[in-house]
Structure 1
Amino acid sequence: MSFTRTLRAVSGAVLAGALVIGTAPAASADYIRDGQWSLGAFGADKIRQQSTGKNVTVAVIDSGVNGNHPDLKGNVLPGKSFAPGGGTADHEDSDDHGTAMAALIAGHGHGPSQADGIMGLAPDAKILPVKTQTSEDTLSGQGFAAPLRYAVDQGAKVVNMSFGQGQIGDDEKSAINYALQKDVLLVAGTGNDGESTPQYPAAAPGVLAVGAVTKNNQVWENSNYGPHTRLLAPGEGIYSAGLGAKYRQADGTSDATAYVSAAAALVRSKFPDLTAGQVANRLTKTAITPDGKSGISTPSPKYGYGTIRPYRALTENIPAGSKYGPLKAPEVQDPASAGHGGAAAGEAGEQKASGSSGIGVPPIVIIGLVLVVIVVLLVVVIVVVRRKKNNGGPPSGGPGGYGDPGGGVGYPPHQPGPYQQQPNPYGSYPSAPPAQPPGQ
Structure 2
Amino acid sequence: MKNKKYIYIALAISIILTGGFISYKKYNSYLDSGLYGKPLKQINADKILPYDKQITSKIAVIDTGVKLDNTFLEKSIIKQEYTDQMSQSSQQSHGTMVTGILTSNGNGHSGPGGLIPKSNILSIQTGTDLGMSSKQLIQAINIAIDNNVKIINISLGTTKDSPELQTVIKKALEKDITIVASAGNNGNSINYYPAAYEGVISVGSINEKKEISNSLNLSNINIFAPGENLLTTTANKKEQDYFTGNSAATPVITSIVAVMITENPNLTNSDIKSILVSSADTKTYKSNEIKIVNLKNALKKASIKNQKA
TM-score by length of 1: 0.60
2 CA distance for matches of 1:7 and 1:281? Answer: 28
2 CA distance for matches of 1:201 and 1:62? Answer: 13
Residue 57 of structure 1 and its aligned partner are, at CA, apart by 1.6
2 CA distance for matches of 1:216 and 1:85? Answer: 40
2 CA distance for matches of 1:245 and 1:106? Answer: 18
* 1:192 aligned onto 2:185: yes
Counterpart in the other structure of 1:81: 82
Are the aligned partners of 2:155 and 2:181 in contact in 1 as well (CA < 8 Å)?
Answer: yes
Are the aligned partners of 1:4 and 1:133 in contact in 2 as well (CA < 8 Å)?
Answer: no
Amino acid at match of 1:34: S
2 CA distance for matches of 1:235 and 1:48? Answer: 16
2 CA distance for matches of 1:53 and 1:216? Answer: 32
Aligned counterparts, 1:289-438, within 5 A: 289-291=282-284, 302=288, 304=290, 306-316=291-301, 320=305
* 1:235 aligned onto 2:227: yes
2 CA distance for matches of 1:49 and 1:84? Answer: 36
Please, what is the CA RMSD of the aligned residues? Answer: 3.1
Please give the per-residue CA displacement for 1:114-143, whole angstroms capped at 9, x wherever unaligned. 7521222222222111111135x2435714
Is the partner of 2:257 in helix, strand or coil?
helix
Change (3 A) 1:62 1:178: same
Which residue of 126, 131, 152 corresponds with 1:132?
A: 126
Counterpart in the other structure of 2:6: 3
Counterpart in the other structure of 1:58: 59
* 1:108 aligned onto 2:82: no
Residue 180 of structure 1 and its aligned partner are, at CA, apart by 0.7
Counterpart in the other structure of 1:173: 166
Residue 301 of structure 1 and its aligned partner are, at CA, apart by 9.3
Amino acid at match of 1:213: I
Change (3 A) 1:48 1:166: closer
1 CA distance for matches of 2:97 and 2:89? Answer: 11
Structure showing the higher strand proportion among its residues? 2
Please give the per-residue CA displacement for 1:355-398, whole angstroms capped at 9, x wherever unaligned. xxxxxxxxxxxxxxxxxxxxxxxxxxxxxxxxxxxxxxxxxxxx
2 CA distance for matches of 1:301 and 1:121? Answer: 32
2 CA distance for matches of 1:109 and 1:303? Answer: 36
Residue 41 of structure 1 and its aligned partner are, at CA, apart by 3.2
Residue 158 of structure 1 and its aligned partner are, at CA, apart by 0.9
Please give the per-residue CA displacement for 1:56-100, whole angstroms capped at 9, x wherever unaligned. 2211111001222222223242221115145xxxx5673311111
Name the structure, 1 or 2, with higher relative contact order (CA <8 Å, separation 6+): 2
Residue 6 of structure 1 and its aligned partner are, at CA, apart by 5.0
Amino acid at match of 1:78: K
Amino acid at match of 1:313: A
Counterpart in the other structure of 2:33: 34
Are the aligned partners of 1:158 and 1:261 in contact in 2 as well (CA < 8 Å)?
Answer: yes
Are the aligned partners of 2:19 and 2:184 in contact in 1 as well (CA < 8 Å)?
Answer: no
Change (3 A) 1:31 1:229: closer
Change (3 A) 1:205 1:43: closer
Return 5+ residue gaps in structure 1 as ranges.
22-27, 293-299, 322-440
Counterpart in the other structure of 2:244: 251
Moved more, 146-155 or 186-195: 186-195
Is the partner of 2:201 in helix, strand or coil?
strand
Percent pairwise identity? 24
1 CA distance for matches of 2:25 and 2:163? Answer: 38
2 CA distance for matches of 1:156 and 1:92? Answer: 25
Please give the per-residue CA displacement for 1:230-260, whole angstroms capped at 9, x wherever unaligned. 1001122222110145222232111111111
1 CA distance for matches of 2:90 and 2:86? Answer: 15
Is the partner of 2:47 in helix, strand or coil?
helix
1 CA distance for matches of 2:136 and 2:193? Answer: 11
Moved more, 77-86 or 226-235: 77-86
Counterpart in the other structure of 1:424: none
Change (3 A) 1:67 1:310: farther
Counterpart in the other structure of 1:69: 70
Are the aligned partners of 2:50 and 2:114 in contact in 1 as well (CA < 8 Å)?
Answer: no
Residue 10 of structure 1 and its aligned partner are, at CA, apart by 3.4
Please give the per-residue CA displacement for 1:290-342, whole angstroms capped at 9, x wherever unaligned. 259xxxxxxx99554x1111122123466549xxxxxxxxxxxxxxxxxxxxx
Which residue of 114, 124, 127 corresponds with 1:120?
A: 114
TM-score by length of 2: 0.83
Amino acid at match of 2:220: H
Higher gyration radius (CA) = 1
Count of aligned pairs between the two proteins: 295
Which residue of 203, 206, 209 corresponds with 1:213?
A: 206
Change (3 A) 1:43 1:66: farther
